[in-house]
Structure 1
C-alpha cells in the first residue's frame, strides 16, 4: 500500500489548481480501493482549517482580478467580437471561482477522514534533539517546530510498519525547510536524507511531483482515473445558449396557452378576441410552428406540460429569477 503524508503546503497548492480534481478524485478513489492511505498529523488538519478561509478568498479574488484586467485591455484595444466574448466570459467567472472552492471542500473531507497521527514522548524528544542540533527543518532562524514534528511523525510511522511492500511518501512544497538548500527542490535536505531511501520512503516536491510519483506507482490505474475526471467534467453552458433555451420554452408555453385560449373562445367560455389582435396571435403561432416543428410545440399531457414548465423555471432561476416565475 502507498501511504502518503501530504504537507499543508501541497494541499493548498492543489486546492488552487483548476486541474486539482484530477489528483483529488484519484486519491479518494485509490483510498476507497485500499490501495492508498493518507497519513494526517492533527497539525495538518488544524493548519489547513486555519488557512482555508484566507486561501479560498485569495483564489476567488485572483480569478476575478485576472478577468478584470483582461476586460480592461479588451475594452481599450479589442474589436466588437472580442467584447461579446468578454461579456460571455463574465457569466462564467462565478463557476470558475466555485470550482476552486469545491477543491477546498473535498480536500478537507480527505484529510478529516485520513489516518490521524498524534505525537508521543518519542516524537517530542526527537523534535527537541533536532532543534538543539540545528538540523533541518530547524536549521533556519524561524519557528519550524511544526515542520519538525511532521518529519518525526513520518519517520516513526515508517519504523513502526512491518508490512511488506508498504511504500511511504512525504510530499511538500516547503523547499526552504525540507529541500536541498540552494539546489534541486526535488531532493531532501541532507539532514533528512537518511529518512528517504527513495525506495521504501520517497521525498516528493509539489503537486506535479506528487502526480508523477502516483503515476509511477499506480501506472495505468492512475492514468485512467485522471482521464475519467476529464471525461465527466462539464463546462458551464454559455449565457447565449441558456438565453436561447429560455426563449424556446417561453415561446412553447405561450403557444399552448394560446391554444387553450382559442378553445375557451370556441366553447363560449371566453369572449371573441379583437380581430386585429387575433390575427397577430395566429401569425405568431404559425411562426413558432415553423421554427420548432408543429409536433414539438404541444399540446402535451399533464406530465409533459409540467415538465416543460419545470424547464423554463430552472432556466429562469439560473438567470436570477424566482423559481415560480413562469409568466409568458
Structure 2
C-alpha cells in the first residue's frame, strides 16, 4: 500500500502543482468574481463553505489511524500529519487561486470541470480535459488504495478492544480482510445510491454527512487531550509545553464544534442517526463480554 501511495501521490501532485504555480503566470484579477456571492452573511457563508472544504482534507488523521504499522510512530506520525496537511493546503490554495484567475467568473460558476478549463485557458487547445481526467484517475486509484486499507484499521482496533465483532480482528498477511471486505461493500453501495439518485444535492448532503461524522472523532480527540491536561497525567502532559498544548487543544475543540454547526441541519441529523446505530453494536458487544465474564 505504501509503495502504491507513494507513486500515485507523486503522479497526481506534479500536475496539480503545475496548474497551481503555472496558473499564477496567467492570472488576471479582472476574472475574479465577488468574494461572497452566496447571498448570506460572511460568517454564515464561511461556516457553510468550511464544512464542504473539510471534505477535501479528510484523511489528515490517516497517519494516526495507521500508527501501528508505522516505524517510530511517536516521531513520524506527527511529522507526516503536519507536513502532509501543510503541503496539501498550499497546493489547494494556489490551485484554487489559479483557477479563479485564469477562468472568467461567469464561466466558472457553470463549469463542471474548472481545472480542465483552467488548463485549456493557460495552454490553449482542448486537451486539458483529457490531461486532468488522467490525473484524476491516478488520484482516485491512490485514494481507493489508501482508504480501503485505512478504513479497515478502525474496526480492527475496535474489535481488538472488544467494542466490535471479533471477526474484524482476522488478518491475512497483516491485512484485516473482513474490514476491507465490509468497507468495499458499503462504499460500493453508497456510490451506486449516489449515482442513481442523479442529484447534485444528494451528493452535497452525503459530503456534509461524511464531514460531520469525521469531525466527531476530531472533537473526541481534543476532549481526550483536555482530560489529560486538566487531570495533569504525567505520562500525557509535557509541562514545558503546557500553555501551547492548552491553546492548541482549545482551538481544535472549538474548530470541531464550528465545523459540525457548519455542516447544516440535514447532515447533523443524518450523521447523528449513523452514530446512534453504533450504540446498538456497543450494547450487544458489552452484553456478550459481560456474559463471558459471568461464566
TM-score category, normalised to shorter length = under 0.3
The structure, 1 or 2, with the larger RCO (C-alpha pairs under 8 Å, 6+ apart) is 2
Higher strand proportion, which one?
1
TM-score, normalization: structure 1?
0.24
- Which structure is larger by alpha-carbon Rg, 1 or 2? 1
